[in-house]
A and B are shown apart, each in its own frame.
Chain A
Amino acid sequence: MNRRVGTVTAVRAETRTARTLVLDVPGWPGHLAGQHVDLRLTAEDGYSATRSYSIASASDGTRVEVTVERVPDGEVSPYLTEQIQIGTPLELRGPLGGWFVWRPEQPEPVQLVGGGSGLVPLMAMLRTRARRGAPAPFRLLCSARDPGSLLYADELRRLTSTVDGAAPRLTVAWTRTAPDGEQRPPGRVDAALVSAATWPADLEPTCYACGPTGFVETVADLLVAAGHDPARIRTERFGPTGGARR
């Protein structure tokens, strides 16, 4: 059993509703970008609840970061985003998952598509690429409600706007409110944006799409319609249509 106990060493506010928990996990064996952990919380009377969270950080010793989006009526996420204190021990299992992963040795171009907190495992891929100096060309298309709700906004800009011509290219679809100077009016990801912002299918990229069910359904269909082989489109969906991870 890869059951371990981590300790919260820092909490970072990413947006109004999202927090990154930085955990120190003795014995952590390292992880692949895209994997997740199961966090198990136990109340005083022995009641416990377990939820899966994507790892946001690149593999780095015993340090593991997860980003949790608060779901208003969630059972676990309000505790993890509003109550948890530095020093709290957390029982966890992981790393888990072997499909929605990216390895730095993969030579082909990579197309990341993330909606809302679906950006979390994709961020682990971007961070791993940067940390390992991997040559695979990346593009990231993500969807956010407004500038205040884009996760990792500053770091994304840093990772995607270096003078290095090989830096990943970032495109954001703002669904409600776009920042000043944005040319595309607010709206969801559509065929025109997929065509303008993602790798052409003939480059045979591996595509990773993660987000709420409705978002991933739409995006995966658009990628197939744009000529991508369904076998090269990996998806991770959460929640019911339009829902969110708890």
Chain B
Amino acid sequence: MPVGILTPGFRGRGRSGDGDLPPGQYLTRDFPVLSAGPTPRVDRDEWRFEVETEAGARRAWAWTDLSALPPEEVTVDLHCVTRWSKLGTTWTGVSLDTLLADVESSADFALVRSYGGYTTNLPVADLLDGQAWLAFEYEGDDLDPEHGGPVRLLVPHLYLWKSAKWVSGITLTDQEEPGFWESVGYHNYGDPWREQRYWDE
């Protein structure tokens, strides 16, 4: 990014520890909430997660199926495109490696779906190799609806809008299909370290 024009009299104070943050982010200790609409209320007993492959094959998990799979506890940093970052957050969830292990697919792209109609897209490669989880606990407690409970996707190496709250399924496709924010100006991939916020970056 080019050096900005000087803002006379502005000092700022965010310099210490900035090495941990992607460009243009600031540190928060709170956990802000950003959603495009009302918060859906989904009971664990109603919750289902369905994967559909490019061949049309479907595989579904209910809450009891998910909770029978081996959980992982991960501590990760979160980076929101609205510029806050929260470091060292701890989540419990099931790795997408585990969930997709037996799914027959050679698709390159995933469209993630949520209760309430939200969608987001990302390459399948970013869901695998220990990079993504279906998370249901945050800091040792059940995940609040505001933060995506009962179950959300967690893909912490991308901007947080990719970590779909209230996740309900994934459609695997050969062609990339833009999701909700990706259709209205946000970057298709969303790497915080390359500051891929908007279409033109």
Are the C-beta atoms of A235 and B38 separated by less than 8 Å? Answer: yes
Interface SS of B by simple majority: loop
For chain A, which range describes its interface: under 10, 10 to 19, 20 to 34, or 35 or more residues? 35 or more
Nearest residue, chain A, Cβ from B28: A240
Known: A84-B9, A99-B181. A1 touches B33 (CB 8 A): no
Query: Is B17 interfacial (CB 8 A cutoff)?
Result: no
Q: Is A52 an interface residue (CB 8 A)?
A: yes
**A240 and B5: CB pair below 8 A?**
no
Whether the Cβ atoms of A2 and B9 lie closer than 8 Å is: no
Question: Per-residue CB proximity of B1-19 to A under 8 Å, as 1/0?
Answer: 0011111111111110000
> Which interface residue of B8, B30, B40, B117 has the most chain A CB atoms within 10 A?
B8
Q: Which residues on A sit within 8 Å (CB–CB) of B9?
A: 79, 83-85, 88
Task: Name the interface residues of B64-101: CB closer than 8 Å to any CB of A.
Answer: 82-83
Task: Tell me, in angstroms, the Cα distance from A44 to B38 when the chains sit together.
Answer: 43
Residues in A whose Cβ lies below 8 Å from that of B26: 49, 75
Q: Which chain B residues lie closer than 8 Å to A48 at the CB level?
A: 4, 12
Residues of A contacting B33 with CB < 8 Å?
213, 217, 237, 240-241
- In the bound assembly, the distance between CA atoms of A239 and B37 in angstroms comes to 16
B145-196 with Cβ < 8 A to chain A = 146, 180-181, 183-185
Closest beta carbon of chain A to B161's beta carbon, Å? 11
B-contacting residues, A30-58, CB 8 Å: 40-44, 46-52
Q: Which of A125-133, A135-143, A219-227 contacts B (4 or more CB under 8 A)?
A: A219-227
A48: nearest chain-B partner, CB-CB: B4
- Closest beta carbon of chain B to A224's beta carbon, Å: 5
Chain A 199-233 residues near chain B, CB threshold 8 A: 213, 217, 220-221, 223-224, 230-231, 233
Q: Which of the residues A5, A90, A234 comes within 8 Å of B37, measured between beta carbons?
A: A234
Q: Shortest Cβ distance from B63 into chain A, in angstroms?
A: 22
Counting CB contacts under 8 A, is B131 at the interface? no
- CB closest chain-A residue, reference B13: A75
Contact status A98-B39, CB under 8 Å: no
Q: Which residues of B contact A241 (CB under 8 A)?
A: 33
B15 to A: closest C-beta gap in Å: 6
Q: B198: CB under 8 A from chain A?
A: yes
Q: Does B32 sit at the interface, judged by CB under 8 A? A: yes
Contact partner, A1, options B34, B146, B181, B200, Cβ 8 Å: B200
Nearest chain A CB to B182 CB, angstrom units: 11
Q: Contact partner of B38 among A83, A233, A240, CB < 8 A?
A: A233
With A49-B26, A237-B32 known to touch, is A96 a contact of B185 (CB < 8 Å)? yes
Complex contact A243–B30 (CB within 8 A): yes
Q: Distance (Å) between the CB of B83 and the closest chain A CB?
A: 6
Sample of 18 more A-B contacts, CB < 8 Å, known A48-B12, A84-B9, A235-B37? A42-B6, A42-B10, A49-B14, A49-B26, A75-B14, A79-B10, A88-B8, A89-B5, A91-B5, A97-B184, A99-B184, A213-B33, A213-B146, A220-B37, A223-B38, A230-B116, A240-B28, A240-B31
Chain A residues with CB under 8 Å of chain B are: 1-2, 5, 40-44, 46-52, 75-76, 79, 83-85, 88-91, 96-100, 213, 217, 220-221, 223-224, 230-231, 233-235, 237-241, 243
